[in-house]
C-alpha cells in the first residue's frame, strides 16, 4: 500500500480534479480520501452532481475513533465510485466540522497504512495548506506528497513560500525524496525545469491544461470526444507510473521488502 497526498498552496490549481483523475487512472484498487478541511465534498457535489446522498465519511470515522473502533469503521464510511475500482471516503460537509478531525488524522494515517492487506493504495485530497484542520499527519507521513501548482507567476509565487516550509519539514525527518510537485499546465507559461528550480522540489509529473477533460472529473461533465486517448488521460496514467516509480525507489533505498506494489 502506498499513501499519496495531493495538496496546494494557493488558488485552485486542480487538486481535487487531479486526485480523482489519478485515482480513476490508477493501475490498482485505490481509496480516495477527501481530507480537504474546507468541507463540502467537491467530489459528491462535482463528479456526482450532488445526486448521491452524503454518507458519513470522515466525520463518522472521527466518532468511531472516539469509541475506539476506527479500523472497523473505514469500510462502512466509504462508497464505491461506479465503473471503477475506486472507493471514496467522503470529506466533511462543513468547515465547522474540521476541528473534530484534528485528533483523527494521526490514527487515520496508521489505519490507512494497514489497508495494505487489501492491496489498496490511498490517494488523498488534502486541500489547501495552512487551513484549520489541515491533515498534517497525512501530508508529512505520506510515501509521496505532491504540491500541486499551475505554472503561472502568481501560482509559483504562492507556492514558493509553502515549498520552503514543506522542504524544511521533509528534510527534518530525512524524507526529502517523499516530496514532489504535480505541475498542472506544463509550459503555460513555465515548464517543469523552471518550476523545479524555483520551488527547489522535483516535478514528479505534469498534466496538460484541458478544460473540457478536467470538467469530467471536477463537474461530472460528459466526456469530450476521444477522451480516453486524450493528452490529459495519457498524462494521468504517466503520472500514476511516475508516482509508483518514486515510491518504489524510496522504499528500495530504505531497504523495504517490495510488496505487490512493486509488481505493477
Ligand atoms: N488539468 C486541468 N486543465 C484545465 N482545467 C483544470 C485542470 N485541472 C483542474 N482544472 C479546473 O480548475 C478548476 C479548479 O479545479 P479543482 O476544484 O480541482 O481545484 P482545487 O485545487 O481542488 O481547488 P480548491 O482548493 O478550491 O479545492 C476546475 O474548474 C477544474 O475543472
Ligand atoms: Mg479541491
| Cα-to-centroid distance, 150 and ligand 2 (Å) | 14
Ion ligand 2, residues whose Cβ is below 5 A away: 15-16, 42
Q: How many residues does the chain have?
A: 264
Whether residue 242 contacts residue 248, with contact meaning beta carbons closer than 8 Å, is answered with no
pLDDT at 27 over 50: yes
The per-residue pLDDT for range 108-155, each reduced to its tens digit, is: 999 998 876 778 899 999 999 999 999 999 999 999 999 999 999 999
- Which of 15-19, 34-38, 54-58 is least confident? 54-58
- The conformation of residue 93, written as its DSSP 8-state character, comes to S
Return the closest-CA partner of residue 21 out of 152, 150, 205.
205
Name the closest ligand to CA 20: 1
User: Quick one: pLDDT at residue 159?
Assistant: 98
Domain count, the chain: 1
pLDDT at 24 over 50: yes
Output the CA 5–ligand 2 centroid distance in Å: 13
Which of 9, 13, 134 best tests ligand 1's pocket when mutated (most atoms within 8 Å of CB)? 13
- pLDDT reported for residue 258: 53
Residues having CB closer than 6 A to ligand 1 are 8, 12-17, 36, 42, 127-128, 184, 207, 209-211, 214-215, 218, 232
Instruction: List the domain range (segments joined by +) for residue 63.
Output: 3-263
pLDDT given for residue 116 in this prediction: 67
The predicted structure's pLDDT at residue 257: 58
Q: What is the mean pLDDT of residues 199-210?
A: 98
What average pLDDT does the segment 196-207 reach?
Answer: 98
Q: What's the rounded Cα separation, in Å, for the pair 137 and 110?
A: 10
Please report which confidence band the pLDDT of residue 259 belongs to, taking 50, 70 and 90 as the band edges: low
**CATH label of the domain that carries residue 118:** 3.40.50.300
Q: Is 106 exposed, middle or buried (0-12, 13-18, 19+ CB in 10 A)?
A: middle
What's the pLDDT tens digit per position in 166-185?
Answer: 999 999 999 999 999 999 99
CB neighbours (10 Å) of residue 203? 23
* Percentage of the chain lying above the pLDDT 90 cut: 85
Residues 46-74 have a mean pLDDT of: 91
Query: Candidates 5, 14, 231: which one to mutate for ligand 1, based on the most atoms within 8 Å of Cβ?
Result: 14
CA of 263 to the centre of ligand 1 (A): 32
Cα 88 to ligand 1 centroid, rounded to whole Å = 19
Q: At what angle do helices 192-199 and 153-172 cross, to 10 degrees?
A: 50
Grid cell at residue 77 = 464510511
How confident is residue 262, by pLDDT bands cut at 50, 70 and 90?
A: very low
Amino acid at each position: 500500500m502506498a499513501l499519496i497526498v495531493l495538496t496546494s498552496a494557493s488558488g485552485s490549481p486542480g487538486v481535487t480534479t487531479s486526485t480523482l483523475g489519478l485515482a480513476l487512472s490508477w493501475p490498482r484498487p485505490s481509496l480516495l480520501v477527501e481530507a480537504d478541511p474546507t468541507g463540502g465534498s467537491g467530489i459528491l457535489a462535482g463528479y456526482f452532481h450532488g445526486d448521491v446522498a452524503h454518507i458519513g465519511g470522515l466525520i463518522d470515522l472521527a466518532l468511531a475513533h472516539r469509541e475506539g473502533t476506527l479500523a472497523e469503521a473505514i469500510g462502512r464510511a466509504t462508497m464505491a465510485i461506479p465503473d471503477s475500482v475506486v472507493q471514496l471516503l467522503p470529506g466533511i460537509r462543513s468547515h465547522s466540522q474540521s476541528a473534530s478531525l484534528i485528533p483523527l488524522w494521526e490514527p487515520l494515517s496508521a489505519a490507512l497504512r494497514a489497508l495494505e492487506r487489501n492491496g489498496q493504495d490511498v490517494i488523498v485530497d488534502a486541500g489547501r495548506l495552512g487551513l484549520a484542520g489541515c491533515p498534517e499527519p497525512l501530508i508529512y507521513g505520506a510515501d509521496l506528497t505532491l504540491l500541486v501548482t499551475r505554472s503561472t507567476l502568481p501560482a509559483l509565487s504562492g507556492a514558493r513560500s509553502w515549498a520552503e516550509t514543506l522542504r524544511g519539514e521533509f528534510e527534518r525527518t530525512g524524507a526529502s525524496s517523499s516530496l514532489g510537485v504535480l505541475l498542472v499546465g506544463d509550459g503555460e507559461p513555465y515548464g517543469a525545469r523552471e518550476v523545479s528550480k524555483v520551488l527547489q522540489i522535483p516535478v514528479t509529473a505534469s498534466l496538460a491544461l484541458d478544460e473540457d477533460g478536467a470538467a469530467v472529473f471536477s463537474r461530472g461533465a460528459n466526456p469530450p470526444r476521444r477522451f480516453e486517448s486524450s493528452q490529459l488521460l495519457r498524462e494521468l496514467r504517466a503520472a500514476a507510473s511516475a508516482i509508483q516509480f518514486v515510491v518504489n525507489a524510496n522504499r528500495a533505498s530504505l531497504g523495504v521488502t517490495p510488496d505487490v506494489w512493486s509488481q505493477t
